[in-house]
Structure 1
Amino acid sequence: MTGSRYLMESEEEARRLSEQARALPVHGHLSSTGLSAGMKALDAGCGPGVITSIMADLVGRGGSVLGVDINQQRLEEARAHCAPLPQCSFVQGDIRKMELASDTFDYVWCQFVIEYLAQPEGALAELIRVTRPGGRVVVADVDALGLQNWPVSPELEEGCRKFVAALAAVGLDLHIGRKMFHLYRRAGLEQVRVQLAPLWVVAGAADARLITDWRQRFATLEPVVSPVFGGTSGYQGFCEQYLALLSDPDALKYAVLLITEGQKR
């Protein structure tokens, strides 16, 4: 997201986000960072509502979960997905400036959003503002998304560096996960802890879901990234090399998720 534009937006994005959420052990991540029955929780950047529904299961009918997203279409999808869950509600808003009361939520969750923001400090400050004293703020985000692979040719390694640099130039930080601990400490949060979890681990050929996920990423990001490869042809060559690596039965591929949690004073 740069300004109010989400770089990954496409007709297939709701499907990709939903499948990604279902592939992760989100229930365990939420419960291990403090979400429990009866809490008033916020899903900041809720997308199509898959994680919101998991949060609703954890808080139960005695709690509540509010989903906030900037995209009206995602909110419509989230409302449909969570329709059987009366403890869920949704509002449209930018997590950098939410029209919500301060000191409101027991637990605030934000996954795969901060990476798109040019000024993560401001977004974190807003998440803290709406959390009640003693409540928990949790950010789950990527670190070096999909670039920890072996074996990798020097050509593909250089292509990966270009890919990351092109995204960084428009505000998408694929190394944001490692930075959140420092930002939490500077923001004054207490009991700051970090969990390292796999986003995926592929020893051998990747499954169809991950291949499709990366094809969609590459297609959506082409207007932003292709100039650093000298145009569409060079960019597509890089993409096919990366996809071939994902399909290589003799190669290891993995990506890291860092989950940072802290308590508001």
Structure 2
Amino acid sequence: MKYVMESGDETRRLLVQEQADFSREALRLTGLTTGARVLDAGCGPGGITAFLAEWVGPSGQVTGMDLSPERLANARQLNQHHAHVQFHSADIRRTGLPDAAFDFTWSQFVLQYLPDRWDALAELVRVTRPGGKVVISEFDGFGMDFWPAPEPLRDWCLRFTQAIERTVGLDIHVGRKVFHAMRRLGLRDVRVHLLPQYVIAGAADSAMSLDWETRFSALESALAPVLGGVEDYRLMSRKYLELLADSDALKYSILLVTEGTRP
């Protein structure tokens, strides 16, 4: 599986994203407790793994799992002071972990990239103990909701998100589908929490602007050919960045955090 967002700046971008307040709020809402055995499935550079380690404390245990050797190296370095954290190199769809090993299984921004995402979800259920929780955090849309919505930028953003799904295979609406998938897998007490990934009323800060610059750069080679060529792609990307800097415009993105209990 190729990670389509890869770039030379992706580790930094992921850490900024992982350490945002919405991750802590999702963990609070879904009831993570001290002493729990936790799997961070698709841990990336380990920012959320660090949150989990702090949350469960030394009486708990956290396993971070990722396929990327670079991300795992970053995660180990970031979490080196946590003796109760370990890392495992594996595919989320075939973890190689034992049945019922975890009290709380967490995955954020991973299922959206997988064509066989529901097989991956079933695997996360398998490694969760009966009575334990599976928690999936995914966005709904690609974070390109804004107003005012001037043409031709509005039309380009629509074509941009459609191209992501058709060309790259990223499901930008996977968040809304997890509830149904958990119910079909037989999970109990399935609940959905709606959270803001961000709300920018006015000009975005430099970190958000850099995040979008990195996204556009990483996706250029895949999307520019179907969006009018490199010159047009870069022009419209700049127009979106100008919208981010507009002090009179609203920009926002939502998350759907879905939790279910293994029977």
Structure 1 length-normalised TM: 0.97
**The residue matched to 2:141 in structure 1 has which SS?**
strand
Q: Which amino acid aligns with 1:80?
A: Q
Which residue in the other structure is 2:238 paired with? 240
TM superposition shift of 1:119:
2.0
1:210 is aligned to 2:219: no
Residues in 1 aligned to 2:109 and 2:21: alpha-carbon distance in whole angstroms: 12
Q: Deviations over 1:135-178 (max 9, x none)?
A: 10000011112221001123112111111111112210111111
Which residue in the other structure is 1:191 paired with? 189
**The residue matched to 2:214 in structure 1 has which SS?**
helix
TM superposition shift of 1:21:
1.6
Which residue in the other structure is 1:174 paired with? 172
In the TM superposition, what are the counterparts of 1:120-139 in structure 2 within 5 Å? Answer: 120-139=117-136
TM superposition shift of 1:31:
2.6
In the TM superposition, what are the counterparts of 1:1-265 in structure 2 within 5 Å? Answer: 4-169=1-166, 170-265=168-263
Greater mean alpha carbon deviation, residues 29-38 or residues 87-96? 29-38
Q: Could you list the runs of 4 or more consecutive aligned residues of structure 1 that deviate by over 6 angstroms after TM superposition?
A: none
Greater mean alpha carbon deviation, residues 151-160 or residues 192-201? 151-160
Residues in 1 aligned to 2:17 and 2:161: alpha-carbon distance in whole angstroms: 21
Percent identity reads: 47
Residues in 2 aligned to 1:196 and 1:52: alpha-carbon distance in whole angstroms: 22
TM superposition shift of 1:23:
2.3
Q: Deviations over 1:45-99 (max 9, x none)?
A: 0001110011011111111000000100000000000000001000111101111
TM superposition shift of 1:27:
2.3
Give unmatched runs, 5+ long, in structure 1.
Answer: none
TM superposition shift of 1:211:
0.2
**The residue matched to 2:208 in structure 1 has which SS?**
helix
TM superposition shift of 1:22:
1.8
**The residue matched to 1:8 in structure 2 has which SS?**
coil
Q: Deviations over 1:158-215 (max 9, x none)?
A: 1111111111122101111111111111111110000011100000110000000000
Residues in 2 aligned to 1:183 and 1:233: alpha-carbon distance in whole angstroms: 41
Residues in 2 aligned to 1:248 and 1:181: alpha-carbon distance in whole angstroms: 36
Residues in 2 aligned to 1:71 and 1:230: alpha-carbon distance in whole angstroms: 32
Residues in 2 aligned to 1:156 and 1:49: alpha-carbon distance in whole angstroms: 35
**The residue matched to 1:192 in structure 2 has which SS?**
strand
Q: Which amino acid aligns with 1:173?
A: D
User: Contact 2:137/2:258 (CA < 8 Å) preserved in 1?
Assistant: yes
Give unmatched runs, 5+ long, in structure 2.
Answer: none
User: Contact 2:22/2:196 (CA < 8 Å) preserved in 1?
Assistant: no
**The residue matched to 1:258 in structure 2 has which SS?**
strand
TM superposition shift of 1:29:
1.5
